[in-house]
Amino acid sequence: MVRAVAFIAMFALLCAAAALMLWRRGTSTRERALTERFVDRQVQAPAPRQTPRAVASAPAAVPPKGTATGIARIRAAFDTLMSRAGIERPRALVGTSLGVAACAALWSAMRAGLIIGACIAALVFAAVYAWLVWRAQKRQQRIVRQLPPFLDGIVRLIVIGHSVPAAFQAALTSAEAPLSECLQRALPMLRTGAEIDHALGAVARMYRVRELELVGAVLRVSVKYGGRSDVMLDRMAALMRDLEQASRELVALSTETRLSAWVLGLLPILLGAMIIVTNPDYFNAMWSEPFGKRLVYVALALQMLGAWLLYRLARIRT
């Protein structure tokens, strides 16, 4: 009885963690789609639309054919996630997570069995992954908020007589983290002769900041063809501020919907856990019957279906 209750509780928690990750991914996808539509309406120049194809052909973004194995891809994805989350010591995090998961799994296996121990270990890893994704999204938002002041600094340096590359590197010295850490990755590529839009495009794909691709395209056009780069950068900074304000308004308007999703997703799990804890005989009477077990399985399936439907509702591109 105890094992069955613990197994159902762990499975419900895993479903809740999966629903949370799907909901966050759907929310970020919807916000990115709205941002892309707004940028496409505001920016009429063809350069930003050609930038993704040009960035995709950058030498630094194409992995070598002989080393594109599954382990290498997993390691590259792990390094990218650590960089996006700002983890300076990823090995320490991995070691701590493995130690906590192993201790929790061993204790649970001794108490309730191997299946419960495996579920506990999976729950620990899911919680660590959700924390890393949340941290990466927060850093991405901070990078986007720091871009307009950074562009203002470039504009001031261009106005007093600096060239565009010199103004970019001079403004980078006064940039704050995490924007400075993000742009520092582009300097080695610039020193090796890569185009500025290719370098910023590779960094933009790593940190998932589309605005950096637009900045790189404008800087490359200014370097290659000339023109009033200070005016374009000033207008771009104003555009980014408008996008940030629109994003905050979107978050404020969708607060009720997100709160409803939280309530609808967590209410069945919390209610079932409360019934099992406060009245275990009621659940035992249902679990001892074959029809009761079927009802429990149907409830778990409906819970997973509801999480998937909430994810679909969150990622609708309006």
**Cβ burial 126-140 (10 Å sphere, 16+ → b, else e):** bbbeeebbeebbebb
Return the axis-axis angle of helices 2-42 and 255-278, rounded to nearest 10°. Answer: 180
- How far is CA 66 from each of CA 63, 108, 137, 215, 291, rounded to the nearest angstrom? 9, 43, 32, 33, 55
Q: What percentage of the chain reaches a pLDDT higher than 90? A: 0
User: 61 falls in which pLDDT band (50, 70, 90)?
Assistant: very low
Report d(CA 205, CA 83) in Å as an integer. Answer: 12
pLDDT at residue number 318: 44
The count of other CB atoms within 10 Å of the CB of residue 108 is 21
Kindly tell me if the per-residue pLDDT of 146 is higher than 70: yes
- Checking if the pLDDT of 38 tops 60, the result is no
Instruction: Name the more confident of 95 and 51.
Output: 95
- Contact between 162 and 170 under an 8 Å Cβ cutoff? The reply is yes
Residue 34's pLDDT is what? 61
Angle at 89 between CA 87 and CA 93, to 5 degrees: 85
Predicted confidence (pLDDT) per residue in 20-30, tens digit: 666 666 666 66
Name the band, by pLDDT with cuts 50, 70 and 90, for residue 188: confident
For the chain, give every domain's residue range: 141-241, 242-317
Rounded Cα distance between 37 and 318, Å, is: 10
Question: What band does 303 get if pLDDT is binned at 50, 70 and 90?
Answer: confident
Cβ-based neighbours of 18, under 8 Å, separated by 6 or more: 126, 307
**Which tens digit of pLDDT belongs to each residue from 280-293?**
788 788 888 888 88
Residue with tokens 């399985």: 297
Residue found by looking up tokens 């924390």 in the block = 131
- The confidence score (pLDDT) of residue 27 equals 64
pLDDT digits (tens, 9 = 90+) for 69-121: 777 778 878 888 888 888 888 888 888 988 988 898 888 778 766 777 787 88
Q: Is 51 exposed, middle or buried (0-12, 13-18, 19+ CB in 10 A)?
A: buried
The answer to whether 51 and 213 have CB atoms below 8 angstroms apart is: yes
- Token pair recorded at residue 83: 């960089």
In terms of average pLDDT, the best of 22-31, 202-211, 271-280 is 202-211
What mean pLDDT is reported for the chain?
A: 76
Q: What is the DSSP code (8-state) at residue 60?
A: G
Exposure class string for 246-277: b at 16+ Cβ within 10 A, else e: ebeeeeeeeeeeeeebeeebeebbeebeeebe
Q: Check whether 196 has a pLDDT greater than 60.
A: yes
Looking at residue 313, its pLDDT comes to 73
Average pLDDT over residues 47-56: 41
CA distance 38 to 200: 21
Chain position carrying tokens 């900041």: 209
pLDDT at 156 over 50: yes
Question: What are phi and psi for residue 171, nearest 5 degrees?
Answer: -70, -25
